[in-house]
Structure 1
Amino acid sequence: MQIPARIGGRAVSADEWIEVLSPYDGAPVARVPALGADHVAEAVAAAAAALERGDFPQHRRAEVLERAAELLAERTEEFAVTIAREAGKPIRDARGEAARCVDTLRFSAVEARKLGGEVIPMDASASGAGRLGFALRHPIGVVAAISPFNFPLNLVAHKLGPAIAAGCPVVLKPAELTPVSAMRLVDLLVEAGLPADWISVVTGTGADAGMPLVAHPGPALVTFTGSVAVGRRIQDTAPRKRVLLELGSNAPVIVEPDADLDRVISAVRLGGFSYSGQSCISTQRVLVSHEIYEKLLDGLRAAVATLVVGDPLAEGTEVGPLISGAAAERVESWLAAARAAGADVTGGVRRGTLLTPAVVADPPRHLDVYRQEVFGPVITVTPYADLDEAIALANDSDFGLQAGIFTADIGAALRAARELAFGGVLINQVPTFRADQQPYGGLRDAGNTREGPAYAVNEMTELRFVTVSA
């Protein structure tokens, strides 16, 4: 099935096409055009023209987003199957992503309805007395959106929904491995009433389409979710643009001696291995009080061994494939390095793109499986002496997206909330939880922004101060 790209409201093909294949068995999913810099320039020009036209007011933007949410709610199974096929996400998780996307669109519609400004108390100073002052929010301009493979529907919605709410036309470059969900979401938005030239989709590689989009002078803002290396390159390429980055993590969870171990095991079993660990907030570093370390390690190993690995379209599958053979080989090599360094590794057997879930006991701190973002079905389990050491271990990371702590002690929980240097601290939860309305984002190499429609809309608008003198 060939799916054309969309530029300025018209279907676009190309001389060369990208084959979208199932990461599970290599079956063809679709073909999309391999576009380049000329197509990017055309798409940016179309978006700029749509912005200049200025005929898409707030109430209509809200109505489009509300209608799109309704349409998606009616078609969640169709979208879930697409996600499972192109991304290898187990169908149960894919359904969850589609349902979350409905929420993201609804939250974006709310922001479109209430987008406003603020009154400035001019009489608060003698120089302002007798004047009326207020600040209005205006769209920042054309938005360049670059989305990742791992949430090919909902993370696209986290860029498109707020941009539409803010009044910003978009040029979208979806992940080349998983573009189909994004393209169908754009089709659905147009069906819901979005002006056809308001969003262009340029399919292609990062080098041929993504970086030309970043470098083009037209977009005022770039929003990117993906790897640290690419994010930093985008910052360097677009120093005069507002650049919003949501990058990586090696998310820690602290387990105190008074924690409910059954609850911890159940939560880590899900948070460390759902979608084969291919989430920015996948639970990776399990930091455990030495008092309960052996007991929890045994419990985690037993629980992880029960995970069902296989076909993402099978109802019982809990862990599907990694996105590519190269990704699976990389994780396998990191586990081999851990074994060579003396770490006790259970699991981690590769068959093509499938990798059995792995538990790495007390690895040396310099290993990639501990320090880097694995983005695979791997957790490490590390003992600590006291809460001081646990917080220090958690914070000893280049990343700072989300962290968790399990404890019955409210004092310990509040201390963790104060001292864990992360964008989010989750108490009695693994750090893998995300609500689509929360201010989601991190520190250090985890990124520089907060997503969630209310927060993204603020990033995609500018305050314009107005004062009126009598």
Structure 2
Amino acid sequence: MSDGDSHLVVCDPDDGCFVGEIPLTSTSDVGRILDTGHRATRDRPPAIHERVRILTEVANRVAAEAESHAQLIACEGVKTIREARAEVGRAIETLRLSAEEAKRNGGSVIPFDQVPVGEGRIGWWANRPAGLVVAITPYNDPLNLVAHKLGPAYAAGCPVIIKPHPQTPFSAVRLVEHFLASGMKEDRIQIVIGGADMGNLLVADRRPRIVSFTGGRTAGEHIAHQAGVKQLLLELGGVGIVAVAADADVEAAAHSISSGAFWAAGQNCVRAQRIIADDTVVGELTERLVARAALIRQGRKTDEKTDIGPLVNAALANSLGRSVVSMKQVGATVLCGGDIDGARMRPTWVSGLPPRDPLLGHELFGPVATIETARDNSDLLDQIQDGSDAIHAAIFTQSITLATAAFERANAAAVLINDSTDFRIDAMPFGGIGAAGLGREGVADAIGAMSEKKLLIISEAGRNSVTRQPAA
């Protein structure tokens, strides 16, 4: 990825091969785009049946070109072709969910006579579009996370400006093209191509009313400071903890954790990063995890046999390499992996990191995960509770008592039982607590965040005057 005078040049993060180039958005263009989007908020939004039609048609267009979309994801991004196909399937589901939820984004009658002063009044509230949406997406899910911004925004009736990550702009461009080809007006969906400077201009401007951002915490905090009085949806990641109790099915846990740790080369905001196992099972679990890591195949992303692709760039790989070195310096043991080749890194398991080491609370956005030990269930729960803010936590156990205790004590927005942290369907509320995020995505929740309740209240006297007809 590099900037020419006026074009963004995108290269495959794996081998540096040219993927394509695309015009960069200029500062003056950003002003024009914001004006266009803001003007669109003054128009009546498309009727719900029209939103449903367009969202359904976009989903069908993506489905018809599913393999082409998957090849594009694998080419410009970090996913293997099999991972990319899974993402395309989810994007189709996200768009279809958006169409269905558009029908449900209605309102409700208010019983005003629940208090004496409300007697003689009727009324209701209806959802209305909250305003212009600015959406900023990362590189690790270049199609589905864009669908998670565009689908709900259009379902809610909001104009939207999307700024995809500069490493993966083409998947977003293709999706926008599908919307336009399906009949969506150009003033209601626009795209900005560029880096953080373009994002800053969009976020700080007073015309947008909603900012939906998926990315890192530093960038999220910067957006929160810049945005002013806006609705913020910030999904900022965190350290996923997976606890394995003494009564767990160790083989099932190892299978799920291995996938959760190394899907998309660990570039996943809900990946399994910290594994905390009871000391009666930690040895067996460690053996199984290391054995599975040895079977993970590296290779070209478009090769059907490849299990793991590259990191987004060599800089991230080198940063992860330095983290592994730091772990070794404080006495940890690298059980497998740790070696770097350009933007590639082998799946890496580390054990023996001292308790409360800062790296245990630092999101390692790549294929590096740690294994820790708990003395008993009480210690396991204490360590879960001491974890930093996250989106998901998980525990493997056959005990409903232990499972519900983990649910209450985990610093996470969701707790998964007998599953890894990286499970998600696109209909569920999704986001982090505390420093891990603000608000909830998931199609219905995002539509709700992009809508505002508008009330109509009619008094009995007013109702009589409104309905009274003149004499014939």
Is the TM value for this pair above 0.5? yes
Match of 1:102 in 2: 92
User: Would the aligned equivalents of 1:83 and 1:152 in 2 still touch at CA under 8 Å?
Assistant: yes
Name which of 309, 332, 341 aligns with 1:320: 309
Name which of 374, 382, 391 aligns with 2:381: 391
Deviation per residue, 1:187-213 (Å, 9 max, x gap)? 011112211221110100112x11000
Task: Report how far residue 443 of structure 1 moved.
Answer: 0.5
Name which of 342, 366, 370 aligns with 2:331: 342
Query: Distance between the aligned counterparts of 2:166 and 2:42, measured in 1?
Result: 30
Match of 1:229 in 2: 218
Paired AA for residue 147 in structure 2:
A
Match of 2:131 in 1: 141
Name which of 251, 255, 270 aligns with 2:244: 255
Match of 1:5 in 2: none
SS across alignment from 2:401: helix
Match of 1:38 in 2: 28
User: Which range moved further: 349-358 or 382-391?
Assistant: 382-391
Task: Report how far residue 217 of structure 1 moved.
Answer: 1.1
Query: Distance between the aligned counterparts of 1:368 and 1:360, measured in 2?
Result: 15
User: Would the aligned equivalents of 2:134 and 2:210 in 1 still touch at CA under 8 Å?
Assistant: yes
Q: Does 1:268 align with 2:262?
A: no
Matched positions, count: 457
Task: Report how far residue 15 of structure 1 moved.
Answer: 4.9
Name which of 284, 296, 299 aligns with 2:285: 296
Match of 2:40 in 1: 50
Task: Report how far residue 293 of structure 1 moved.
Answer: 1.2
SS across alignment from 1:423: strand
Query: Distance between the aligned counterparts of 1:433 and 1:131, measured in 2?
Result: 47
Query: Distance between the aligned counterparts of 2:24 and 2:58, measured in 1?
Result: 28
Paired AA for residue 216 in structure 1:
D
What is the TM-score with the length of structure 2 in the denominator?
Answer: 0.94
Instruction: List gaps (5 residues or longer) in structure 2.
Output: 461-472
User: Would the aligned equivalents of 1:288 and 1:384 in 2 still touch at CA under 8 Å?
Assistant: yes
Query: Distance between the aligned counterparts of 1:24 and 1:144, measured in 2?
Result: 30
User: Would the aligned equivalents of 1:368 and 1:374 in 2 still touch at CA under 8 Å?
Assistant: no
Match of 1:469 in 2: 459
Instruction: List gaps (5 residues or longer) in structure 1.
Output: 1-13
Match of 2:469 in 1: none
Query: Distance between the aligned counterparts of 1:443 and 1:387, measured in 2?
Result: 24
User: Would the aligned equivalents of 1:148 and 1:174 in 2 still touch at CA under 8 Å?
Assistant: yes
User: Would the aligned equivalents of 1:138 and 1:461 in 2 still touch at CA under 8 Å?
Assistant: yes
Name which of 458, 464, 469 aligns with 2:448: 458
Paired AA for residue 221 in structure 1:
I
Matches within 5 A, 1:123-162: 123-162=113-152
Match of 1:309 in 2: 298
Task: Report how far residue 55 of structure 1 moved.
Answer: 4.9
Which consecutive aligned stretches of 4+ in structure 1 deviate over 6 angstroms post-superposition?
Answer: none
User: Which range moved further: 233-242 or 358-367?
Assistant: 358-367
Task: Report how far residue 16 of structure 1 moved.
Answer: 1.2
Task: Report how far residue 387 of structure 1 moved.
Answer: 2.3
Query: Distance between the aligned counterparts of 1:65 and 1:442, measured in 2?
Result: 27
SS across alignment from 2:395: strand
Structure-2 change in CA distance of 1:180 and 1:414 (3 Å): same
Match of 1:364 in 2: 354
Q: Please say which structure displays the higher CA radius of gyration.
A: 2
Paired AA for residue 396 in structure 1:
D
Deviation per residue, 1:8-30 (Å, 9 max, x gap)? xxxxxx95111111011111111
User: Would the aligned equivalents of 2:387 and 2:411 in 1 still touch at CA under 8 Å?
Assistant: no
Task: Report how far residue 386 of structure 1 moved.
Answer: 2.0
SS across alignment from 1:379: strand
Name which of 171, 181, 191 aligns with 2:171: 181
Query: Distance between the aligned counterparts of 2:397 and 2:111, measured in 1?
Result: 45
Deviation per residue, 1:277-313 (Å, 9 max, x gap)? 0000010000100111111111111111111112111
Deviation per residue, 1:319-357 (Å, 9 max, x gap)? 110001101111111111111221110211111111000
Give the CA RMSD over aligned residues.
1.4
Query: Distance between the aligned counterparts of 1:344 and 1:449, measured in 2?
Result: 38
Name which of 319, 342, 347 aligns with 1:330: 319
Matches within 5 A, 1:430-441: 430-441=420-431
Paired AA for residue 320 in structure 2:
V
Task: Report how far residue 418 of structure 1 moved.
Answer: 2.1
Q: Does 1:286 align with 2:310?
A: no
Task: Report how far residue 166 of structure 1 moved.
Answer: 0.4
Deviation per residue, 1:244-280 (Å, 9 max, x gap)? 1000111000100111111011111111001000000
Paired AA for residue 240 in structure 1:
V
Identity percentage of aligned residues: 37
Match of 1:75 in 2: 65
Paired AA for residue 387 in structure 1:
N
Paired AA for residue 218 in structure 2:
A
Query: Distance between the aligned counterparts of 1:301 and 1:40, measured in 2?
Result: 49
Query: Distance between the aligned counterparts of 1:404 and 1:43, measured in 2?
Result: 43
Query: Distance between the aligned counterparts of 2:419 and 2:146, measured in 1?
Result: 26
Deviation per residue, 1:358-390 (Å, 9 max, x gap)? 000121245454221101001100001122322
SS across alignment from 1:467: strand
Name which of 83, 89, 104 aligns with 2:79: 89
Query: Distance between the aligned counterparts of 2:104 and 2:361, measured in 1?
Result: 42
Match of 1:8 in 2: none
Query: Distance between the aligned counterparts of 1:268 and 1:78, measured in 2?
Result: 30
Match of 1:425 in 2: 415
